[in-house]
Amino acid sequence: MHLLTFTDYTMRTLIYLGLQQGQLVTISSIAKTYGISESHVMKVVYQLGQGGYVETVRGKGGGLRLARDAASINLGDLVRQTEGNVSLLECLDGQSTCCIQQACRLQAILRETQSAMYAVLGKYTLADLLQQNEPLALIFMHSKTAQASVKE
């Protein structure tokens, strides 16, 4: 199984925002921390805003932050939203022209696999990802220090 890059960036953005504990951050700071383009982060933030996960504050000193408590952000729901109706194989969405589709047992196994993945993700929230976050905080702090030294 392979999650979309968009899903990866979505999770990373939420982790970053969760560690900021309500402080406003910029799209630029997220992009620089992770080494991804600002345009990708903008797309992620737009979708997160549409889903009610983040709130944005415009103007000087503006930025974004989590719009809800990290414990209310279920990872299974989040991945379902970012992945859409992506199937592991096209035969699972009924669009396949495979000649063995009617008799193939692989479909049932892969449906079960996908359901199991979402069931496991559904047990966790963003808050679970933020527990014991000292190593993440150190990485982010180091990243900010490195960015500041480049500007000087």
Give the per-residue pLDDT at 143: 62
Quick one: 59 and 94 in the same domain?
no
Give the per-residue pLDDT at 77: 95
| Beta carbons within 8 Å of 30's beta carbon, 6+ residues apart | 12, 13, 16, 17, 41
Structural domain boundaries enclosing 97: 74-124
Quick one: 41 and 54 in the same domain?
yes
Quick one: 68 and 80 in the same domain?
no
125: DSSP letter: B
CATH number for the domain spanning 59: value is 1.10.10.10
Quick one: 63 and 136 in the same domain?
yes
| Per-residue exposure over 18-55, b if at least 16 CB sit within 10 Å of its own CB, e if not | bbbeeeebebebbbbbbebeeebbeebbebbeebebbe
Place of tokens 């719009």: 67
Give the per-residue pLDDT at 104: 81
Quick one: 16 and 90 in the same domain?
no
CA distance 48 to 82: 9
Quick one: 81 and 45 in the same domain?
no
Give the per-residue pLDDT at 3: 86
Quick one: 66 and 134 in the same domain?
yes
Name beta bridge partners: 11.
Answer: none
CA R_g for the chain:
19
Quick one: 3 and 48 in the same domain?
yes
Give the per-residue pLDDT at 142: 63
Quick one: 47 and 118 in the same domain?
no
Give the per-residue pLDDT at 144: 58
Quick one: 2 and 64 in the same domain?
yes
Quick one: 88 and 115 in the same domain?
yes
CA distance 101 to 116: 22
- Using CA atoms, how far residue 3 sits from 37, 38, 50, 152, in Å, is 19, 21, 21, 38
Instruction: Count how many domains the chain has.
Output: 2
Quick one: 81 and 37 in the same domain?
no
Give the per-residue pLDDT at 105: 85
pLDDT in 10s for each residue of the chain, 152 residues: 678 999 999 999 999 999 998 899 999 999 999 999 999 999 999 999 999 999 999 988 899 999 999 999 999 999 999 988 777 777 777 677 778 877 888 888 888 988 899 999 999 999 999 987 777 777 776 665 544 433 33
Place of tokens 């702090």: 141
